[in-house]
Amino acid sequence: MDRFSELPESILLHILSFLNMRDVVRTAILSKRWSHLWTIIQQVDFDLKDFFPYQNFVDFVNRTLLCRGNCKITRLRIGLFLNASSRKDYVGWIMYATKNNVEELFLDFDSDCCEWLPPPCVYSNSSLKTLRLWSCRLVPAMQIRWNLLTKLTLRFSVLWDDIIRKIMVGAPKLEVFELDTCWGYNDLTFDSPSLRVLIICDDESGVYEHGPVMRISAPNVQFLRLSGSLYRKCVLMNMPSVVQATLDFHPYTHSDKQKEDLKWKQDNLMELVGCLQHVESLTLGSWCIEVLALREKRRMPCQISTYKCVTLSAYMTEDDLLGTVNLLKGSPALQTLIIDMQSVLYDWRRRAMEYSCNSNVEDYLASQAKHIRCLRHLKTVKLTKFVEQHSVFPFVEFILKNGSVLENLVIIARRGSEENSPESLLKVAQRLLSMPRASFRAVITLLN
């Protein structure tokens, strides 16, 4: 007998829980010890991948669930491409899961052009704790009763404002709510006292019409993430409890109309930043840094905030450096700065700018030192996915030279990058150690 087979049954079932159900069933041929495990595993994952034709997948799911009988199931995931002819099978699978008191249900039904309607047993369920639905249309007339639900994710789905209100009432323990590229809503009120995490990716639909404004009210939410194309104005109305926020928009600029809309989108971004100036931790995506860079070029006033930690997703071009400086000038209480360096520049103009080193970078940074008050509070600076670039070293040297209470400068090199050879990183380390430091406590760490 092999060593795996000697393990307790609970350990074997835990190992199998990381596999899709097709591979789990295949383990039955290993030995008698394994022959029955696929029928009692409580974490079940069906995926259309590697099944052809489509009916083979449907038949496999039906046979597997039939052989399991009434065995307890705690987690069920079904990943497939919607096929209208198999609707009865979908409903049967879902009813099987709810009948067996499933706690985590992931229905990843992908689709190009249609939505499916969840059966009534999905709307009213007393065992669900985690629910994820793709490509569905929630019916407003249905009453929602999710007494134990703590996490809800809706993706590529259609729901209206009144459905959001019903969810807030019908899911009294809901803590995490994610809307990923959904449509139909305009005024979002998340007033559940238990809701702590709100994630919204708002993107345009070629089928469903939207109002010109998306309003969000979430008085108890502490962690907020907003992303998408910012195709319509976004307004935050009641967000006093947020302590950690992420803004990561990427507007489309393919057509002339989309380019013309950039001005109001930039203004909308700054309105959102202003609404979140009270948060302790803020994360900004690369386009947001570009907007801050434009404000710095135009010498527009900085928005003053109380951030203690800021994370920036930036290419670290000279323009990104301007955006970073603009943010630092408006964050006098900042203690931690994290820059997640991005590797791919899709715009050739940004590439050209990256490789044209501006000899005035050092002079510009030196001229702004007196305006960056957080240098008297900044204790930790971290650069992740580091690759040597022209504007990085002047910025690092500026921080070391002016950070009077700096304790840690951590640079984590990007793995698998040709630029980060051992010889190259050795030169980087030597250059870092040669830089003057204003703080005697400052420790420089370079990790590969």
pLDDT of residue 358: 47
Length of the chain: 448
Query: For the segment 279-317, what is each residue's pLDDT rounded down to a tens digit?
Result: 999 999 999 999 999 999 999 989 999 999 999 999 888
Query: Phi and psi at residue 418, in whole multiples of 5°?
Result: -65, -30
Do the Cβ atoms of 343 and 389 come closer than 8 Å?
no
- Amino acid identity for residue 48 in this structure: L
Does any domain span residue 212? Answer: no
Q: Tokens in use for 261?
A: 């809309």
Which element (helix H / strand E) includes 338? strand 336-341
Do the Cβ atoms of 268 and 287 come closer than 8 Å?
no
Does any domain span residue 119? Answer: no
Do the Cβ atoms of 410 and 380 come closer than 8 Å?
yes
pLDDT of residue 200: 98
Do the Cβ atoms of 114 and 156 come closer than 8 Å?
no
pLDDT of residue 350: 44
pLDDT of residue 361: 84
Do the Cβ atoms of 188 and 165 come closer than 8 Å?
no
pLDDT of residue 1: 56
By CB atoms closer than 10 A (0-12, 13-18, 19+), residue 174 is buried
User: How many alpha carbons fall within 13 Å on the CB side of residue 294?
Assistant: 11
Q: What average pLDDT score do residues 409-420 get?
A: 87
pLDDT of residue 347: 46
pLDDT of residue 356: 41
156 φψ region: left (φ > 0), alpha (ψ -120 to 50), beta (else): left
Does any domain span residue 384? Answer: yes
As for how many domains the chain has, the answer is 2
pLDDT of residue 46: 95
Look up the domain containing 35 and give its range. 7-41
Q: Which among 202, 223, 224, 221 is positioned nearest to 213, based on CA atoms?
A: 202
pLDDT of residue 448: 85
User: Has residue 83 got a pLDDT over 90?
Assistant: no
pLDDT of residue 49: 87
Return the residue matching tokens 């497939």. 80
User: How many alpha carbons fall within 13 Å on the CB side of residue 164?
Assistant: 24
Does any domain span residue 419? Answer: yes
Q: Tokens in use for 312?
A: 């920036």
Does any domain span residue 431? Answer: yes
pLDDT of residue 346: 47
- Residue 430: how many other CB atoms lie within 10 Å: 9
User: Has residue 353 got a pLDDT over 70?
Assistant: no
Give 284 or 423, the one with higher predicted confidence.
Answer: 284
Q: Tokens in use for 84?
A: 């209208």
Query: For the segment 307-340, what is each residue's pLDDT rounded down to a tens digit?
Result: 999 999 998 888 899 999 999 999 999 999 999 9
Query: For the segment 202-254, what is each residue's pLDDT rounded down to a tens digit?
Result: 988 766 667 789 999 999 999 999 999 999 999 999 999 999 999 999 998 77
Report DSSP letters for 321-359, one per residue. HHHHHHHHHT-TT--EEEEEE------HHHHHHHTS--T
The vertex-146 CA angle with 143 and 150, nearest 5°, equals: 140
Q: From CA 406, how far away is CA 388, in angstroms rounded? A: 22
Cα-trace Rg, the chain: 26
Return the residue matching tokens 């090199």. 413
User: Has residue 16 got a pLDDT over 70?
Assistant: yes
User: Has residue 258 got a pLDDT over 90?
Assistant: no
Q: From CA 37, how far away is CA 27, in angstroms rounded? A: 8
Please enumerate in sequence order all residues whose Cβ is within 8 A of that of 216, keeping only pairs 6 or more positions apart, or say none: 188, 190, 198, 200, 234, 235, 236, 237, 239
Does any domain span residue 15? Answer: yes
% of the chain at pLDDT higher than 90: 75
pLDDT of residue 404: 96
Q: From CA 364, how far away is CA 299, in angstroms rounded? A: 13
- Residue 330: how many other CB atoms lie within 10 Å: 22
Give 331 or 3, the one with higher predicted confidence.
Answer: 331
- Amino acid identity for residue 292 in this structure: L
Does any domain span residue 261? Answer: no
- pLDDT mean across residues, the chain: 90
User: Has residue 87 got a pLDDT over 90?
Assistant: no
The vertex-74 CA angle with 72 and 78, nearest 5°, equals: 105
User: Has residue 112 got a pLDDT over 90?
Assistant: no
Signed CA dihedral, 257, 259, 262, 263: sign only: negative
pLDDT of residue 92: 94
Does any domain span residue 266? Answer: no
% of the chain at pLDDT higher than 70: 94
